[in-house]
Amino acid sequence: MEQFRIFIVEDDPWYGEILQHHLSLNPDHEIFRFTTGKDCMANLSRKPDLISIDYSLPDTNGVELLKKIKQYNADIPVIVISGQDDVSTAVDLLKKGAADYFIKDDNTKELLWNSITRIKENQSLRKEVDDLKEELGHKYEFDKAIKGKSPSILRIFSLLEKASRTNINVSVTGETGTGKEVVAKAIHYNSERKKKPFVAVNMAAIPRELIESELFGHEKGSFTGALTRKTGKFEEANKGTLFLDEIAELDLSLQSKILRVLQERELVRVGGAEKVTLDVRLIVATHKNLLDEVKKGNFREDLFYRIMGLPIELPPLRERGNDILLLAKFFLEEFCKSNKLGSIGIAPDAMEKLMKYSYPGNVRELKAIIDLSAVMCDGQQIKGPDIFFASSSSNEMISSEEKTMKEYTADIIKHFLKKYENNVIKVADKLDIGKSTIYKMIQNNELSLN
């Protein structure tokens, strides 16, 4: 384990020795002591983890030394110790980035010890977060986040690399279920912003009257129910990436406000006056043709050109050839692993069936089909009859029509009740659900045994 390196800058030898001795009681601390600000600055290349400085030094004062340290490396925590109890000085130092401020007295060494402990804990938490983001970045390496080897997907990889090298806005288009948010995350986690926030907003999922507050935030009391200040999604994404999914659903009045925010790089919260400066990378997505929406008068032309940036059009799954089988095997392995099912393969007749289907729900639908077939198959191989596609027939298992989970569940149970001649116990066993669940749905007229 690396030692925690602490600089003590104190011109009083006796007091500096007391602080050094006290902090050295922790064997993980490595202490270096200096008597002037100049000596401290000359040794910053030794990469201290924390610096404690006396406010009054022979060659400088705490404000100036703090400023120089922060210019060298803004991430180094600096604690200031002063012989004077001056509130205005303390406030000024804290505003300028000091991590803490103490008055020299009998309690100082304990206060310093406690403050260093808190700082170390916070640094440890930040490192954990950074490590998690790094891990997430690996997850979203292009070939891991997007499975495929077809020419159309290889072209997408090329565009993603170009998008990740700069801060250009990106517009992602493609049918529902093609993986637009996955693409947005892949760009973010492979860019220089990867350790900053990625904030996703589905414009179609937010009630129209709440969108402005959701995007820009609001001040306390700005409208009925605004009991506290709310930070909007633009602010949450500051220094990072904001992903606006289904951008075509945005009301025209909000389009003008988003355009202004993008042009001015600042916003004002609803009901507020304070301007908030922004540095946000924007990625938008839609399954509609935005240029057609512009021609129809549904989308502002000036906003279209502002957000278009680098356009990436995702191909539908039916045009990706053998990627269908590659994705099917990947989803199957993931499902088996997460559900501890052991190894399950895909029989040739099932592969042929998968390749002939058109996938109106694209990758999202394929995953649902594979998950269900893994549950339905007998033994360690998915066969053709285990795979169910969307259709208008009575044995419909997955529908391109949007339904609730409850409705999907009822559809599945109906199919297997018919298949097993209303044998509730056998169906309950096949679906791994309680037979009371089926009986309750029959009682509530959600199912019938006819």
Query: Does 140-315 match 4-132 at the fold level?
Result: yes
- For the record, the structure tokens of 6 come out as 């602490």
Q: Does residue 419 carry a pLDDT above 80?
A: no
Which contacts (CB < 8 Å, 24+ apart) does range 128-131 have? 130/195
CA angle 84, 89, 93 (to 5 degrees): 120
Give me the pLDDT at residue 138, please.
52
pLDDT in tens, 331-362: 999 999 988 888 999 999 999 999 999 999 89
220: left (phi over 0), alpha (psi -120 to 50) or beta: beta
Rounded average pLDDT over 92-107: 87
- Span 152-197, pLDDT tens digits: 988 998 999 999 999 999 999 999 889 999 999 999 989 999 889 9
Q: What is the pTM of this model?
A: 0.59
Contact 6, 26 (CB under 8 A): no
pLDDT of residue 141: 62
Asked if CATH classification 3.40.50.2300 holds for the domain at 4-132, the reply, yes or no, is: yes
Q: Where are the domains of the chain?
A: 4-132, 140-315, 318-443
**Which fold would CATH assign to domain 140-315?**
Rossmann fold (3.40.50)
- The DSSP line for 195-257 is TS-EEEEEGGGS-GGGHHHHHH-B-TTSSTT--S-B--HHHHTTTSEEEEETGGGS-HHHHHH
Q: What angle do CA 291, 295, 300 make, to 5 degrees?
A: 75
Under a CB-based contact definition with an 8 Å cutoff, are residues 314 and 152 in contact?
Answer: no
What is the pLDDT of the chain when averaged over all its residues?
86
Highest average pLDDT, of 97-106, 221-230, 397-406, 420-429, comes from 97-106
Q: Looking at domain 318-443, which CATH architecture does it have?
A: Orthogonal Bundle (1.10)
Can you tell me the mean pLDDT for 256-279?
Answer: 91
